[in-house]
Amino acid sequence: MADQIVVKKNFKYRLYPTSAQNVSLDGQLAEACRLYNAAVRERRDAYRISHKTINYCDQANQLKEIRAAGDLALANFSCCQNVLRRVDKAFNAFFGRVQNGQNPGYPRFRPVSRYDSITFPTYGDGCKILDNGKLRLQGVGAVKVKLHRPIEGRIKTVTVKREAGRWYAVLSDAGWASFISKLTYKAAEAGRELVKAPPMGRRSDAYAERRIRRH
């Protein structure tokens, strides 16, 4: 097995929402959770009733109609798509483990109390750092953020997280991509494999992690 190098870079900042904004943030997470569970239920019922497999595109194509009918209050459309991608990822992982001969648990419904993040896949679409240093979030407003260190590179995605009653924004740096590209080439030359780590790390600042796996 080739050696593997894991690299990730995030910027995690504490948010200080007002009381009203805190309610709005909780509401956005609740709506995201409701969409997640509805998507899981639709896939489960479709297979149970008609043995039909539903994919991401099938569900994403329903979003505009659902939102137009006022049945979903998650403000940003791309956030809604990201929720469905999480569901798709969970089912793909489930079926992948089944194909590998494992006996995994079926994707579960998520309780609101444990659905703790929403992701804006594209910076500028529903999320943006304003000139006054606040982070504007669609459906919430301009939220005070403690920028304890400067943001390097170009922001690609923004994930808003709730941890132990506090709120954080995790910004992923798109400028890191060029460095990763170079590392991928160098790793291949050395007989290694570059593995991209999830952008949901717990560290409070940017970092690179190198992990080597051998036989």
At 33-78, the pLDDT tens digits run 999 999 999 999 999 999 999 999 999 999 999 999 999 999 999 9
Q: How far apart are CA 116 and CA 210, in angstroms?
A: 27
In a domain, 189, yes or no: no
In a domain, 200, yes or no: no
Total tally of structural domains belonging to the chain: 1
In a domain, 215, yes or no: no
Domain assignment present for residue 196? The answer is: no
Query: Containing domain of residue 66, as a range?
Result: 3-173
Q: What pLDDT was estimated at residue 201?
A: 45
Region for 144 from its dihedrals, namely left if φ exceeds 0, alpha if ψ lies in -120 to 50, beta otherwise? beta
> How many other CB atoms are there within 10 angstroms of residue 129's CB atom?
20
Residue pair 10/197 in contact (Cβ under 8 Å)? The answer is: no
Render each residue's pLDDT in the chain as its tens digit; 215 residues.
Answer: 455 555 557 899 999 999 999 999 999 999 999 999 999 999 999 999 999 999 999 999 999 999 999 999 999 999 999 999 999 999 999 999 999 999 999 999 999 999 999 999 999 999 999 999 999 999 999 999 999 888 878 899 999 999 999 999 999 985 555 455 556 656 666 667 666 565 444 444 443 444 434 44
- Would you say residue 24 lies in a domain? yes
141: left (phi > 0), else alpha (psi -120 to 50), else beta? left
Q: Which residues contact 46 (CB under 8 A, 6 or more apart)?
A: 52, 53, 54
* Residues 91, 9, 15, 75, CA torsion sign: negative
In a domain, 208, yes or no: no
For residue 146, being part of any structural domain is answered with yes
Question: What stretch of H or E contains 143?
Answer: strand 141-146
Residue 191 belongs to some domain of the structure: no
213 phi and psi, to 5 degrees? -115, 125
